[in-house]
A and B are shown apart, each in its own frame.
Chain A
């Protein structure tokens, strides 16, 4: 096993009262040390579920129904919850959109960081404090000593997200999964956070999985992109190639619908309709009702996810 993380044919289902629905369906990708992968898609495409599935944090009624996840050569999808807990937050960290989801408002930053460290490692409070300070410096937080005694509400949104990144770095993880880490932030702050994440990956050879709806952000930070649609990866390849020479009609449409991709004032290239909900995914290719290339076969047969051109994998009959 040569990859740091390998996800193979992952399927996640949710057991609802109306029956099981498939949230992600046959997702495969891999990540090497220091590599940055972007998972892009619109809301409901299954990108967040993918992130949660990797660290086995899918809450009921969801469950992993097929496939396997290998981390450093071990099949972690088969691990018990107790064993998984040692990896989660330790070897694989996760950053969420809302920093307040992770930060407890009634404790100081210092207390939370030291507590996290002592939970994972058998070290003294002084040692833990030193590590916490070191990590705060790594994420360029001004006057880190002062921050340790502050409460989350005393900090701005951008500063909180930096603290979260510092916390996720505490155990020197091999992989960080960042789920829309900058969606709630202003553009100037977003740019700083993205620079920081990229720098951390390059310096510490950390793997990054960036989950976002923003193709612009992904194209600046990552090396590989996986585009998700209705629970499936429909295009996967090197960022440069996917952005400049996309294969799948959905990716083409998605890029065309970003204002700024074309001359101001002209009509944006819009994709008609909307993504199907998971309960009524059309047969064949899930994108066929919105696709301008759709032919007869698209409504009947699910396209195979295969190598197309320039190292891009895609699932489309017409290309």
Chain B
């Protein structure tokens, strides 16, 4: 993959499969004799992408497309089955717990559910001080409290509430506290996993504005995981569209929304309900979404694609770079078929 600058994060051919076959007894199968059968969820299949410093790369896709797994593989919560991940030029995917620690300060995460992401038995102070004290054992109590108060102010939570428990806050405020925890170690890179999808519209706007402000102030780089395309368009500089664990299209937000190339991207974009547009024409997809347990052969999208030809059923399309640093994996785009 050619890039114009050294990316902050590079993901190369990452594969993550989960074995869900359970114990020995669950694996027994009696089809044509007795043998053991493994069931694997193929969550992430050969994903490559990069995130440049200071940009927001959004990973979009529908439920079950592997976007959350990808986020967790990048942060080392799951170890990839194969592939490499580089942060600032250093390979990080194979590190041990101790070797990961310096990167933990630089790479942080914001979660989806503001009700599950804060430990209900810990006060705001305990939640925010813990990472600080753990990574800076020499820090004095006063320094820690000052830092916590500073970050709370940054995310718009009154530092006077430092002693409160999560249940005393509203969903929006909890999400601010969750963001504060992500920021407290002064990271450079933040993975945000659906940070606004559990929030009401007016609160969602507050949090999106906050995230954009923080990016300016703290010079952050975001990997933004979401299913909401209008949020994607608003916040990102580049977008990767994921379908069944495979990147269909990777392009700048402007290019992607103005001239989507991959048939799936087009269908997805046409389905966004836009306010005030009466009776928008949706591109209808055929068939059912396959499960990541039984991946289709060839192009993973061929079963739902109206343009699919024989080659799509047999051969996995390459992830090609087009003219303007847009990457598309589609035989039709590569060969210039008439895609409507």
Answer yes or no: A and B touching, Cβ < 8 Å: yes
Task: Tell me whether A187 and B62 are in contact in the complex, defined as CB-CB below 8 angstroms, given that A156-B288, A259-B230, A261-B275 are known contacts.
Answer: yes
Indicate which residue in A220, A258, A265 contacts B201 across the interface (CB closer than 8 Å).
Answer: A258
For residue B251, give the distance in angstroms from its CB to the closest CB of chain A. Answer: 14
Indicate which residue in B204, B230, B235 contacts A216 across the interface (CB closer than 8 Å).
Answer: B230
Cα–Cα, bound, A29→B304 (Å): 42
B267–A188 CB distance below 8 A: yes
Please tell me if B284 contacts chain A, counting CB pairs below 8 Å: yes
B276–A254 CB distance below 8 A: no
Indicate which residue in A188, A195, A219, A269 contacts B275 across the interface (CB closer than 8 Å).
Answer: A219
A192–B208 CB distance below 8 A: no
Q: Which of B271, B275, B285 has the most CB of A within 10 A?
A: B275
State the A residues within 8 Å of B (CB). 42-43, 156, 159, 186-188, 190-192, 194-195, 213-217, 219-220, 240, 243-244, 253-261, 264-265, 267-272, 274-275
A260–B233 CB distance below 8 A: yes
Please tell me if B1 contacts chain A, counting CB pairs below 8 Å: no
Cα–Cα, bound, A265→B254 (Å): 11
B172–A269 CB distance below 8 A: no
Cα–Cα, bound, A51→B129 (Å): 45
For residue A38, give the distance in angstroms from its CB to the closest CB of chain B. Answer: 12
Known pairs A42-B201, A258-B230, A259-B228; list 10 more (Cβ under 8 Å): A156-B289, A159-B288, A186-B63, A188-B285, A240-B278, A258-B201, A259-B234, A260-B275, A271-B206, A274-B170
Of all chain B residues, the one with the shortest Cβ separation from A40 is B201
Cα–Cα, bound, A86→B215 (Å): 57
Cα–Cα, bound, A277→B55 (Å): 38
In the bound complex, residues from chain A placing their C-beta under 8 Å from that of B63 are 186
Cα–Cα, bound, A256→B289 (Å): 34
Please tell me if B200 contacts chain A, counting CB pairs below 8 Å: yes
For residue B147, give the distance in angstroms from its CB to the closest CB of chain A. Answer: 26
In the bound complex, residues from chain A placing their C-beta under 8 Å from that of B272 are 187, 216, 260
Please tell me if B227 contacts chain A, counting CB pairs below 8 Å: yes
Cα–Cα, bound, A194→B270 (Å): 13
Interface band, chain B = 35 or more
Task: Tell me whether A220 and B209 are in contact in the complex, defined as CB-CB below 8 angstroms, given that A254-B201, A268-B234 are known contacts.
Answer: no
A191–B271 CB distance below 8 A: yes
In the bound complex, residues from chain A placing their C-beta under 8 Å from that of B172 are 274
Q: Which of A191, A215, A220, A267 has the most CB of B within 10 A?
A: A191
B275–A190 CB distance below 8 A: no
Please tell me if B35 contacts chain A, counting CB pairs below 8 Å: no
A271–B227 CB distance below 8 A: no
Please tell me if B98 contacts chain A, counting CB pairs below 8 Å: no
Please tell me if B138 contacts chain A, counting CB pairs below 8 Å: no
Cα–Cα, bound, A216→B234 (Å): 15
Of all chain A residues, the one with the shortest Cβ separation from B267 is A188
For residue A206, give the distance in angstroms from its CB to the closest CB of chain B. Answer: 18
A191–B282 CB distance below 8 A: yes
Please tell me if B101 contacts chain A, counting CB pairs below 8 Å: no
Task: Tell me whether A259 and B209 are in contact in the complex, defined as CB-CB below 8 angstroms, given that A215-B201, A217-B273 are known contacts.
Answer: no
A191–B273 CB distance below 8 A: yes
12 interchain pairs (CB within 8 A)? Answer: A42-B203, A187-B62, A188-B268, A192-B284, A219-B277, A255-B275, A258-B230, A264-B253, A267-B212, A268-B234, A274-B170, A274-B202
B202–A214 CB distance below 8 A: no
Cα–Cα, bound, A195→B285 (Å): 13
Please tell me if B299 contacts chain A, counting CB pairs below 8 Å: no
A253–B202 CB distance below 8 A: yes
Q: What 4 pairs between A and B have smallest CB-CB spacing? A: A257-B205, A216-B273, A259-B234, A260-B230
Interface of chain B residues 185 through 202 with chain A (CB within 8 A)? 200-202
A192–B276 CB distance below 8 A: no
Of all chain B residues, the one with the shortest Cβ separation from A156 is B288
Of all chain A residues, the one with the shortest Cβ separation from B64 is A186
Q: Which of B202, B206, B227, B284 has the most CB of A within 10 A?
A: B202
Q: Which of B200, B229, B289 has the most CB of A within 10 A?
A: B200
In the bound complex, residues from chain A placing their C-beta under 8 Å from that of B276 are 219, 240, 243-244
Please tell me if B145 contacts chain A, counting CB pairs below 8 Å: no
For residue B217, give the distance in angstroms from its CB to the closest CB of chain A. Answer: 14
In the bound complex, residues from chain A placing their C-beta under 8 Å from that of B231 are 259
Of all chain B residues, the one with the shortest Cβ separation from A257 is B205
In the bound complex, residues from chain A placing their C-beta under 8 Å from that of B280 are 220
Cα–Cα, bound, A43→B253 (Å): 31
Cα–Cα, bound, A192→B270 (Å): 11
Task: Tell me whether A271 and B288 are in contact in the complex, defined as CB-CB below 8 angstroms, given that A195-B282, A219-B276, A259-B231 are known contacts.
Answer: no
Please tell me if B97 contacts chain A, counting CB pairs below 8 Å: no
In the bound complex, residues from chain B placing their C-beta under 8 Å from that of A270 are 202, 205-206, 209
B205–A271 CB distance below 8 A: yes
Cα–Cα, bound, A265→B209 (Å): 9
Cα–Cα, bound, A254→B204 (Å): 10
B271–A188 CB distance below 8 A: yes
Please tell me if B121 contacts chain A, counting CB pairs below 8 Å: no
Please tell me if B279 contacts chain A, counting CB pairs below 8 Å: yes
Of all chain B residues, the one with the shortest Cβ separation from A43 is B200
Cα–Cα, bound, A301→B57 (Å): 48
Cα–Cα, bound, A42→B204 (Å): 11
In the bound complex, residues from chain A placing their C-beta under 8 Å from that of B4 are none
A220–B277 CB distance below 8 A: yes
Of all chain B residues, the one with the shortest Cβ separation from A157 is B63
